Amino acid sequence: MNQPDKEKTETIKNTSNDGLLHILGSGSALPMRDNYPTSQILELRNKQFMIDCGEGCQIRLREMGLSTSRLGHIFISHLHGDHCLGLVGLISTLGMMNRTADLYIHSHPDLERLTLPLLNYFCAESPFKIIFVPFNPSKHSIIYEDRSIEVYSIPLIHRVPTAGFLFQEKEKPRHIKREMIDFYNIPIASIHKIKMGENFQTLEGEVIPNSVLTTPSTPPLRYAFCSDTAYNESIIPFVEGVDLLYHEATFAESELLRAKKTMHSTARQAAEIAKKANVKKLIIGHFSARYRNKEILLNEARSVFKNTLLAEDKKTYPFF
């Protein structure tokens, strides 16, 4: 039997549009013109998720020209006002824009009882359903799953129960080469197994290694969001090697004591986590209002972990 083309060894790479992080708010408790409270939109391939929902996030969405037609799930890290007070306004606006798809809100259980009276009052005519999905922020567990994505909670250390989030694509089947199917007369019944990594045995008994028949799938995208939190090495196993880590960096090193007291991190500490977890890229955010110029935070982080970027409101960050 003739041999088919030599095995291609190149890896299929994710491209810059496969993972995008849109920053709606990069500030902390005191909103500033250039740093609204925490909120961001994550795009993983064609899916859209919102993380936190600080006051004014709906204004940022509009400023950025971001459509929310693919937004089905909002994840709230913790119940401090600067992470969730924009929720009712956003939902009210989505209703006026005639959204009809259900909207799921994943959060600490208390959010429902705090927010539902307002939603019933201000958004009584909402044309879509709002479904609260409570989770326990103090536990590492899977809190959302669909065909291609899993979201895990990451327990953080803060003044109230707080979770970070790991968004992770599921491992995808390998790509089978069309020409191999023809060459080896592979029956349809075997294709799924080969995509899942099995070898193939021809009618003549020859075993064709999987690596000859398939190319790797694109690597799963992984994004971790960790805010608000004190320096906490116990999160390292959860964020190990992620493509992109957003970690809070509320203070510079000169405010280390204040960071400890308020259970926040310094920029340097954020970078320590990034380095120890061997992540690919770090974005720091949740800046204290005292830093008009954030260069000091960026420099302190970069001295530990070079591939660090500053979060900026209204800016979009590709994973790669």
Residues contributing to the site for a copy of itself (CB under 8 A): 29-33, 36, 55-56, 58-59, 62-63, 79-82, 85-86, 88-89, 92-93, 96-97, 110, 113-114, 117-118, 121-123
Number of CB atoms found within 10 A of residue 79's CB: 18
Could you tell me the two tokens for 108? 């600490």
Name which of 96 and 196 has its Cβ closer to a copy of itself.
96
Buried b (16+ CB within 10 A) or exposed e, 41-78: bbbbeebbbbbbbbbbbbbbbeebebebeebbbbbbbb
CB of 26 to a copy of itself, least distance (A): 14
CB of 313 to a copy of itself, least distance (A): 11
Q: How far apart are the first and last CA of the chain?
A: 43
Q: Residue 220 has what DSSP assignment?
A: P
Query: For residues 80 and 235, what is the distance between their CA atoms, to the nearest angstrom?
Result: 21
Is residue 82 annotated as part of the catalytic site, yes or no? Answer: yes
> How would you classify residue 310: left for phi > 0, otherwise alpha for psi between -120 and 50, otherwise beta?
beta
Name which of 50 and 277 has its Cβ closer to a copy of itself.
50
CB of 304 to a copy of itself, least distance (A): 30
CB of 52 to a copy of itself, least distance (A): 14
> How would you classify residue 17: left for phi > 0, otherwise alpha for psi between -120 and 50, otherwise beta?
alpha
* Annotated catalytic residue, options 52, 82, 243, 313: 82
Name which of 5 and 110 has its Cβ closer to a copy of itself.
110
- Tokens 């971001």 belong to 66
Buried b (16+ CB within 10 A) or exposed e, 121-152: eebeebeeebebeebebeebeebbeeeebbbb
Q: Residue 215 has what DSSP assignment?
A: E
Name which of 52 and 169 has its Cβ closer to a copy of itself.
52
Q: Residue 136 has what DSSP assignment?
A: -
Name which of 80 and 177 has its Cβ closer to a copy of itself.
80
Name which of 196 and 289 has its Cβ closer to a copy of itself.
289
CB of 270 to a copy of itself, least distance (A): 23
Could you tell me the two tokens for 206? 């020859």
- Where in the sequence numbering do the catalytic residues fall? 82
